[in-house]
Chain A
Amino acid sequence: MKTRMLLPLAGIGLLALAGCTTVNSVENADKQGQRQMVTDQRAITDASLDRKVSIVGVNQSMTPGGLLKVQVELQNRTRSLQRFNYRFEWFDANGMQVTTVASALLPDQIEGKESKFIFGLAPNPNCKDFRVKFIEAQ
């Protein structure tokens, strides 16, 4: 009787695990590059998404052409693939938003336990500030 009960449970457990794929990674321990980290300010309104895909840190650099390049490191805290959308917003020296194709909502995905980077490039040299929005995919 006990085995009869355990077998379906084991089957359900296997099915649940089938959707979980995590990522193993390797990288050089002695880093040559130095990331210029940005002191960020966060507004979390979707705690569910934040629990799944969290923001690790933000760093920035300037291109030779004078454009601000921003890189955001994300970490999937779950063991399953997560889909999300993000959007970079850019602001000039007066705090006015600059809207271009660079402000498009972009779909992305991240594997279980994976750490990945997304990046955005300012649409013009006048853009000084940025904001990145994350929205859970439908």
Chain B
Amino acid sequence: MKSKIIFSLLAALPFVIGGCATNAHYVETGGRESVVTVGQINIQDYIQAANAATSDLLASGALDKVATPPAVLAISRIVNNTGQQIDTDLLTKKIRVAVLNSGKAQTTTTMGLGGTAEDPMAKGLQQENEFMNDQKTTRKPDFTLSGKIIETTARAGSTRQSTYSFQLSLTDARTGLAVWEGEKEITKQGTRPSVGF
């Protein structure tokens, strides 16, 4: 009898442990349940910055001022002036997707900073096509997008504060003049990492 009880308990043990071992669940990216940390740029910060930049850029009408719409956009340097190692594509890709979906601009993937192409295969095929047809088919970018991400921190007693400034400039490739500039600042404050907005 005793062994039967022990056996049943042992059999149930993995299920009990399995149930308690993890509380993993899905949350909405950038949603209310996202983790907020003071000393780091969180995913919702990139989303907020990209949202603000895209709205501001599209509302400005700067991308509409081209002879043959949609405008062609090239991504230039986004300087990371924070103390963190970040992938700036987390910001730029969201902006690129939004401007492409708006129908206002298309981003070149065969022209990049320092002559490097984002898509080398597309660049190779494009060059081959130009060679075969003996004519330039590449459309030069109308605009370039550059920017900087800056981190400013402050501390008073046990309160810590971080401000992340997302600065972006859209430059007219013909004139070299900035035709749109946007800045979104996100400030977070806390005494220790907390969850939720």
Contacts and interface: CB of A to CB of B under 8 A. Distances in A.
Interface of A: 63-65, 67, 69, 83, 85, 98, 100-102, 104-107, 119-121, 123-125, 135, 137-138
Interface residues of B, number: 28
Contacts of B58: 63, 65, 67, 121
The prevalent SS among residues of B at the interface is: helix
B139 to A, nearest CB: 21
A98 B102 CA distance: 11
B59 A106 contact: no
Contacts of B54: 101-102, 121
A138 B44 CA distance: 15
Contacts of A120: 55
Contacts, number: 72
Contacts of B102: 67, 123-125
A36 to B, nearest CB: 16
A61 to B, nearest CB: 10
Contacts of A123: 98, 101-102
Q: What are the 6 closest A-B residue pairs judged by CB atoms, nearest first?
A: A138-B196, A107-B197, A121-B55, A104-B47, A101-B94, A124-B102
Interface in B82-125: 94-95, 97-98, 101-104
A64 B161 CA distance: 39
Nearest to A67: B58
Contacts of A69: 59
Given A105-B31, A137-B32, A100 B61 contact: no
Contacts of A124: 101-103
A104 B59 contact: no
Given A101-B94, A137-B32, A138-B32, A63 B103 contact: no
A101 B32 contact: no
Interface in B18-48: 28, 30-33, 44, 47-48
